Structure 1
Amino acid sequence: MVREVTVGKVSFGAGHPLVLIAGPCVIEDEETTLGIARQLKSIAEEVGGALVFKGSFDKANRTSVDSFRGPGLVEGLRILQRVKDELGLPVVSDIHEASQVEEAAQVLDIIQIPAFLCRQTDLLIAAGSSGRVVNVKKGQFLAPWDMENVVAKVGSTGNQNVLLTERGTTFGYNNLVVDMRSLAIMRQGGCPVVFDATHAVQLPGGAGGASSGQREFVGALSRAAVAIGIDALFWEVHHDPARALCDGPNSLALDNVKKLWREMLAIDSIVKGTDAS
């Protein structure tokens, strides 16, 4: 049985309806971030879905040294605090160093560990010790059963509130592939499982000095993952993906979110036996 993990009024796992974790790849500026958050909240209220807002204050693993990374820890957390205070949404962002945990935990409801750092013991233990929910993205280089050791590291702090996110596995040059079996395998360990559909269609480094992507496949992969019975979806969204400062090629346009989210909730209700029809 997958355990329940709760942040505010949003619950993952234990038979709860699908949760959507969504927002821009990186916090570009205050106005853009709050605008995306407001629109997502409005869509959530219309479709009846549970929402967690995501936005990275620093993308420390960009392809190029010249790529936009975000506003940094202090300013990024200030903006995310506004999202919480003004919209009442739980928020999640990445950390990259153990030294960031204490300050980040004062704002974040979920502390996210990037895929490339998922084996970093000190980082996992620091995140677990914060008492916050910890979302660990499975490394592109790991088998799903290897995540048991990752969960054990966080759990060694006494914190069992762990989410595991699948975002694809390295598959040759500039490409990722998703083995849908990994979603079922990771859920067998008892942690709620998230499918990061937008990073799964990323083409890492595929644009030379930046990553490329194939957003046209986000819907197809999302449908397949929800049909397996996952606990949450992770979508990077933007009002104008072509102009996004990070991960635009694999981000969803906000205008497409409502229809696709409704489809996901319909599939989820059938899979989990809550379909009213």
Structure 2
Amino acid sequence: MKNKALILSHHSNEIDLLASALCAMVSDKSLGLPESLQNTPPKFTRSEFHTFVLPVLASLASYHGYLDPGHQQRLIKCLEFGLVSRCSRQCVMALTICALEMKDAMYKLLPEVLLNLSKISATVHIAIPLLEFLSTLTRLPKVFASFVGDQYMSVFAISLPYTNPFKYNHYTVSLAHHVIAVWFLKCRLPFRRDFVKFITTANVIVPFEEGQLIMKSDLINEDSSSRKRSSSLTEQGSRRSLRTVGVRPEGRPGDLKPPIDEALMNFHMELTETCIDLMARYTFSTCSAQPKR
């Protein structure tokens, strides 16, 4: 599927047939997949079967020009179904492409997509693709032109968990603050006052209360670990701690958040204060680019 010239050089109308077959594999339970397949691995479950089908389905987003509106909507619904699978990251990235390239189809299905995105657990694995999807939507006013209060609330409910600096790295937290600020300014004035309390509670009170609990537990562990012990036990503990710190798990370097020091904590506090100041200024007024003298 990555070789677009090879795929389209034969018969471009076969893209519709491929899309129909792949969507049926995901959504049509009457096919009895994967039980009806032969030569499958033992205990081959339906979720494992979807991990092979959904990446191929996600790659079809770049062939949107060869899909009619019906197939485009069906493709988006199947990607929406894949949000709860192991391929959730790929499905979110494919939905971002759909928002950019299939604006008419996404316009009709976006409220449903946001509702399902709000049900996903906030994890490091899905954080950046999800926030980039929401950030991309802010530049597509025709796609979210019909938004009402529920859709804006879904956007904030998705973004706010990622403002916790004790769980996510500073890039994720900064991107979450950017998404919240832009969407707050994008929503209409009558809706803004209804979101202030929700954003303030989730952005200020919850993360820093959790952070205080984490710091207290760290201090307790530090006090218990700094008690006087015999020299042999102290040497063994120091060697073990050095060995633990020195090993950095490979494969997920971007998932490791930096230690919270004073400078980084001040940075996150300033982000939070900026968010509060922005809401205080623009809850009842529009954002003007011209300075007042």
Q: Common fold, TM-score beyond 0.5?
A: no
Q: Give the TM-score category using the shorter length.
A: under 0.3
The structure with the larger Rg is 2
> Bigger relative contact order, structure 1 or 2, given CA contacts below 8 A and separation 6+?
1
TM-score by structure 1 length? 0.25
The structure whose residues are more often helix, as a share, is 2
TM-score by structure 2 length? 0.24
The structure whose residues are more often strand, as a share, is 1
